[in-house]
Amino acid sequence: MSAREKGSKAGRGAVESGEKATSLRYKMMDLAKSRKDVISLGRGDPDLHTQREIIDGTMKYFSTLSNRDASSDNSILGPVRGLPDLKRKIADRYMEEKGISVDPEKELIITNGGQEGLFLALLALVDPGDKVACPDPRYTSYDQAIGACGGTIVSIPTQQEGRFFELKEADLREYASDAKLLVFVNPSNPTGSCATVESVRKLAEVAKEMGIIVLSDEIYEDIIFDDHKSLCFWGVDGARDRSIVLSGFSKSYAMTGFRVGFLVGPPDFIDAVSSIKETTSGPCPTFSQYAALAALEMENDSRPQFLSRYKDRRQILMDGFNRMRVPYAEHYGGLFLWADMTRFGIGAEEFCYRLLRDAGVLMFPGNSFGDSWRNWVRVSLLAPKKSIEEAMARMTEFVEGLEEDG
């Protein structure tokens, strides 16, 4: 069997594994629709409304398009790499908030959401048979994207001691010695871990030493709690020539439906992604890009307000789990808590189905993020405070019933 055939076979396995895990989550969401009183703590789409200032700014920009020459570079379609004004604003934000210089023309491309950014990045980097190291547990879109490229997944267990799920440089050395690429997710979905500044630097150092390219998924970069400090991968000296950053607007600005993401990377990588995008999806819709531009130009930045709301919701969940004596992973960032249901003795999948059926609360079982996590569940922060309080009350009653039955 040739390397390409082996890569394709391994890729199909990765796709099937990812699709199986994804289908489990969608199966549970479909089941939830059969009840009218379900409180959903499942999906990761922000429930907060996109700010009115963003909508108004978008309409203001978009209303000027009818006066433009459709044959010019400023036509309604726009360049495949994205609107120059938006790219400049993103580059400005990187300098202002991270102290990182980004060339908006050579080192940045706008994508149709973070999901497309992930697939484009891997298509540009992964050949059939290449090994790609990923944290375990993880969001299964990575499996499907790697599989679509014919790559082979190398899983890196991240649980250190009980509640710690941070990817460490020692793990990289142990599990990824022959990997071409590392997918680094910071903050993590589903565990809520967030690497420290020092940990990011050490990972970058070891990846460079091992000759590994790093794709750093930083889509939750603006949702970090407890004054925890992290670092953009491109902020590490010497890392930018062998790393790519993926981010977007959906989580930070509650703009999931607008589908605006972006990739920051070396010029040759951006050239390769641009070529793929030009012959597949084309430019991100102009209307959506203007919405992202309006978000960056808001007089009153909505991110601190959103973070404050998420912090309150997070505390309700943690307090509820503490009362129920349910352990959960150390949580520093992102929109999910990762909780351990081992003590109930029924496995997370059964636990989640019964919780949904008997109490009307939707959570996702851990094995929808990796086969090893059959006693864990992922719990979303994305519901109003009163709904989360009610969900915790229902869950408390549910687990008390389990304990009585046990």
Segments making up each domain of the chain, as ranges: 3-50+302-405, 65-296
**Tell me, what's the pLDDT at 243?**
97
Query: What pLDDT does residue 406 have?
Result: 61
- Residue 210's pLDDT is 96
What is the dihedral sign for C-alpha 234, 256, 137, 19? negative
pTM of the model: 0.91
DSSP-H helix ranges across 211-302: 267-278, 286-296
Q: Is 370 left (phi over 0), alpha (psi -120 to 50) or beta?
A: left
Alpha helices in 221-347 (DSSP H): 267-278, 286-296, 303-324
The distance of Cα 94 from the centroid of its chain, to the nearest Å, equals 19
pLDDT at 65: 66
CATH superfamily of the domain spanning 3-50+302-405: Aspartate Aminotransferase, domain 1 (3.90.1150.10)
Q: Cα–Cα distances in Å, from 141 out to 45, 213, 272?
A: 15, 19, 21
Cα dihedral sign, 264-268-274-277: negative
CA angle, 32 then 35 then 40, to 5°: 45
pLDDT score recorded for residue 10:
46
* pLDDT confidence of residue 4: 42
d(CA 42, CA 245): 26
**Mean pLDDT in consecutive groups of 10 residues from the start of the chain, 406 residues:** 45 58 78 85 89 92 63 63 97 97 98 97 97 95 94 92 87 95 96 95 96 98 95 94 97 95 98 96 94 95 96 98 96 97 93 94 93 95 96 96 78
Describe the crossing of helices 267-278 and 113-125 by its angle, rounded to 10 degrees.
110
d(CA 314, CA 335): 9
b/e per residue, 30-41, with b = 16+ CB within 10 A?
Answer: eebeeeeebbbb
Pick among 3.40.50.10490, 1.10.760.10, 3.40.50.2300, 3.40.640.10: CATH of 65-296? 3.40.640.10
Instruction: State the Cα–Cα distance between residues 133 and 118, nearest whole angstrom.
Output: 14
CB 177 within 8 A of CB 211: no
